[in-house]
Amino acid sequence: MSKINKRIIEEKAFKIVMHTVCAAVVLIFLIMLATIVIKGLPGLNLKMLTHQPLRGSYAEGGGGILNAILGSVYLALGATFLAGLIGIPVALFINVYLKKNSRFATLIRFSFDVLWGIPSIVYGAFGFIIMIFFHMRSSLLAGIITIAFLELPIMTRAADSILKMVPLELKEISLSLGATRFETAFRIIFKQAFPGILTAILIGLGRGIGDAAAVMFTAGYTDSLPTSLFRPVATLPLAIFYQLGTPFPEVQQRGYTSALVLMLVILFISIFSRILTKRFQQNVLR
Amino acid sequence: MLTKRTIKDILAKHAMFFLACAVSLLVIFIFGGLFFKSSTILKNKPLAELLFSVDWHPSRGNFGFAPFIMGTIWVTVVAIFLAVPASLLTAIFLAEYAHKKIRGVIKPVLDLLAGISPVIFGVFGILVIVPFVGNGLKPFCEKFLGFIPFFRSDNFTGYSVLSAGIVLAIMIFPTMAQVAEEVVNSVPQETRESSLALGATKWETIKYVVVKKAGAGIIAAIILGLSRAFGETIAVLMVVGNVIKVPHSLFDAAYTLPALIANNYGEMMSIPLYDSALLLAALILLAVTVFFNIGAWFILLRIEKSYV
């Protein structure tokens, strides 16, 4: 009898531990949100969002973070566009042109999985080498290219897993009606999986906009607004990092507010992409 | 019969084939580029000196990576030690026990947590974890566990290996939990049923049957988390203290390889061999993470094949 009791008690104990761990995870997440909101909110006002930092008066901390907001938007949109231009066709290629379980498809998936695991700082270093090779200086363009490399595996993997769920019959029906594989891929499969592909693109965008290590070398940093592809730009993650590193409370406040803005943008992207995924799952033909 | 449509099809096929090949070769390009750039220092210094010397004075031409390598290993091990039990329990809970409603809360939280920018984790680390470690854990541990050198340190602040480990643990937790949950889910239902039918409790079934079956995949999940932790830059840089010394305690400040690259790229062009040394650091990071990821990939591939 006591043996059985012990077994049941062990199970109960572990159940309690598991509940505690899950509660702790949710709690940590909420504490994180609360911390950033509490610290960032006092500095959040229209001036902060619509002005660049006042030049020459770093210690006084006047002005806002428009330079970083605009820089991040340009950089992330450019990189996402570039990565999507390469990644989405490759994902379609694997799923429409290649046979299921073909060696080449496995090889491509393998490369993307390996690329996915490479730390962003290494992409930054690689981007830096390319820059030196072409005698470029740190600029918006170099940042876009580097972040595109970073986003490419994330986006392609996500798009691939969505396209895998599109039923094979759809492809077969389209081909048997006389459509070419190109038409099947871009008119039929792409349309069917569109919300899912948009999710993949948004996941890439979210990662791209939040990354700091890769843009440090390549995009540089500046207090002025982005004007050209060939000049350095500020980005929100680096704005947070540099401004928190200063000893001036007013400048640090700008950093906290930047953190709040960045977090809201990323949460918005994540939640929006979750909604799209749900919609995709409803649309899938079964 | 080459109509316009078939020409388009063939052109698109070749274009996409080319793109796919180019992307597949990207890893090799990155390796090649970093190796080419770091070959300068590899030619000038013996590899053993680079890896095992603790003397880091670029201006005097001494490039010993040991403090950074040890710092990275310490931080990664602490993070794994904290994150593995938590993420495995979460994965098992989500796959085996959790009510649909609880899953509906935890899974989105994991997704959102995985998407949050490393910088935000860094800010959270500075505001919450560092004070918690510096004012709470450190005095407590020194008072009660101070006789163990592991818990003793002359570092006054909370910027330490432990803070970085905690922040990293929170960062890698979602990835590990998600992969592990998928693996546990992929264990066939019949396996569970036969164990339950033999009179095992649900927990015994999980402990002796499910975890055993999912073992390889769980290891893959851990490897993926490990490689994430190994290469994380900004979040660690913000809380680890950045002191060039081999750490000996949880509360010592440390310096990691990614942080070394991020902190010094500005001045690296002015000192000879410095740029080459920093790119060697990137090469080491690349080699380690690629090695881990390939290992995890083969394990996961075998699992996928065995259940399909």
Q: Which DSSP symbol is given to B254?
A: B
Query: Dihedral, CA atoms, A203, A209, A215, A216, nearest 10 degrees?
Result: -130
- Asked if pLDDT for residue A164 goes beyond 70, the answer is yes
Using CA atoms, how far residue A251 sits from A175, B117, B130, in Å, is 61, 21, 21
pLDDT in tens, B198-221: 988 888 899 888 888 888 889 889
B12 found inside a domain:
no
The span from the CA of B308 to the CA of B186, in Å, is 10
Determine the average pLDDT of the residues in A65-83: 92
DSSP string, B93-130: IIIII--HHHHHHHHHHHHHHHHS-HHHHHHHIIIIIH
Burial B180-201 (b: 16+ CB within 10 A, else e): bbbbbebbeeeebeebeeeebe
pLDDT 10s digits, B254-267: 999 999 998 887 77
Whether B33 maps to a domain, the answer reads: no
Pick the CATH number of A50-281 from 3.30.2020.10, 1.10.3720.10, 3.40.190.10, 3.40.640.10: 1.10.3720.10
Show residues of chain A in contact with B262, CB under 8 Å: 121, 124, 213, 216
Interface contact B119-A262, CB threshold 8 A:
yes
Cβ separation of A108 and B30 shorter than 8 Å?
no
How far is residue B215's CA from residue B180's CA, in Å, rounded to a whole number? 10
Distance separating alpha carbons of residues B305 and B78, to the nearest angstrom? 33
Indicate the burial class of A259 (C-beta count within 10 angstroms; 0-12, 13-18, 19 or more): buried
B296 dihedral zone (left: phi>0; alpha: psi -120 to 50; beta): alpha
Whether B8 is covered by a domain: the verdict is: no
For the record, the structure tokens of B107 come out as 């899974």
Decide: residue A286, CB within 10 A, 0-12 exposed, 13-18 middle, 19+ buried. Answer: exposed
Q: pLDDT tens for residues B147-191? A: 777 777 777 788 999 999 999 999 999 999 999 998 898 888 888
In the three-class reduction of DSSP (H, G, I as helix; E, B as strand; rest coil), residue B241 is classed as strand
Residue B10, burial from CB neighbour count under 10 angstroms (0-12, 13-18, 19+): middle
Position B155 scores a pLDDT of 77
CATH code, domain with B173: 1.10.3720.10
User: Domains in chain B: how many in total?
Assistant: 1
B40 found inside a domain:
no
In A, minimum Cα distance to B108 occurs at A274
**B1 pLDDT higher than 70:** no
Distance from CA of A226 to the nearest CA of B (A): 21
Instruction: Report how far residue A159's alpha carbon sits from residue A84's, in angstroms, rounded to the nearest whole number.
Output: 10
Let me know if residue B4 belongs to a domain.
Answer: no
Q: Which two structure tokens, joined as six digits, stand for B44? A: 């000038």
CA B63, chain centre distance (Å): 25
Q: In chain A, what residues touch B224 (CB-CB under 8 Å)?
A: 117
- Testing the interface with A: which of B117, B166, B170, B206 to mutate, by most A Cβ within 10 A? B117
The residues, ordered by sequence, that sit 6+ positions from A132 with a Cβ below 8 Å of its Cβ are none
Q: Do B265 and A117 touch (CB under 8 A)?
A: no
Alpha-carbon dihedral angle through residues B137, B143, B145, B150, given to the nearest 10 degrees: 70
Q: What does the pLDDT look like over B171-182, one tens digit per residue? A: 999 999 999 998
* ipTM field: 0.90
Determine, yes or no, domain membership for B42. no
Judged against a pLDDT cut of 50, whether residue A147 lies above it is answered with yes
Q: Which helix (H) or strand (E) holds B56?
A: strand B56-57
CA distance B200 to chain A (A): 9
For residues B251 and B133, the answer to whether their CB atoms sit within 8 Å is yes
Per-residue pLDDT for A57 more than 50? no
Provide the β-strand partners of residue A209: none
Interface with chain A: mutation pick from B23, B87, B205, highest number of A CBs within 10 Å: B23
What residues does A53 pair with on adjacent strands? A63
A244-274, pLDDT tens digit by residue?
A: 888 888 888 888 999 999 999 999 998 888 8
Structural domain range at position B209: 67-307
Which residue type, as a one-letter code, is found at position B192?
R
CA angle at residue A276 from A71 to A192, to 5 degrees?
115
Three-class DSSP labels, chain A: CHHHHHHHHHHHHHHHHHHHHHHHHHHHHHHHHHHHHHHHHHHCCHHHHHCCECCCCCCCCCECCHHHHHHHHHHHHHHHHHHHHHHHHHHHHHHHHCCCCCHHHHHHHHHHHHHHHCCHHHHHHHHHHHHHHCCCCCCHHHHHHHHHHHHHHHHHHHHHHHHHHCCHHHHHHHHHCCCCHHHHHHHHHHHHCHHHHHHHHHHHHHHHHHCCHHHHHHCCCCCCCCCCCCCCCCCHHHHHHHHHCCCCHHHHHHHHHHHHHHHHHHHHHHHHHHHHHHHHHHHCCC
Check CB contact under 8 Å for A130 and B33: yes
pTM: 0.90
CA distance B308 to B303: 9
CB distance B16–A92 less than 8 Å? yes
Residue A100, Cβ neighbours under 10 Å: how many? Answer: 9
Contact residues on chain B for A114, CB-CB shorter than 8 A: 27, 290, 293-294, 297
Determine the Cα angle at A220 with ends A216 and A225, to 5°.
Answer: 135
Task: List, for residues B88-135, the tens digit of each pLDDT value.
Answer: 999 999 998 888 898 988 988 998 998 899 999 999 999 999 999 988
- pLDDT exceeds 50 at position B26: yes
Residue A20 above 90 pLDDT?
yes
Q: Per DSSP, what are the bridge partners of residue B56? A: B63
Min Cα distance B268 → chain A (Å) is 11
- CA separation for the pair A240, B122 (Å, rounded): 10
Q: Which of A62-66, A210-214, A234-238, B7-11 has the lowest mean pLDDT?
A: A62-66
Give a yes or no: residue B71 inside a domain. Answer: yes
B203, amino acid identity:
W
Contact B63, B45 (CB under 8 A): yes
Q: Tell me whether residue B76 is in a domain.
A: yes
pLDDT of A161 above 60 = yes
The token pair that represents A66 in the structure block: 């428009």
Interface test with A, best of B109, B120, B290, B298 (most A CBs within 10 A): B120
CB contact under 8 A, A183 and B112: no
Report the share of chain A in percent with pLDDT over 90. 38
Structure tokens at A277: 């995924």
Residue A286 has pLDDT above 50, yes or no: no
Task: Identify the pLDDT of residue B215.
Answer: 86
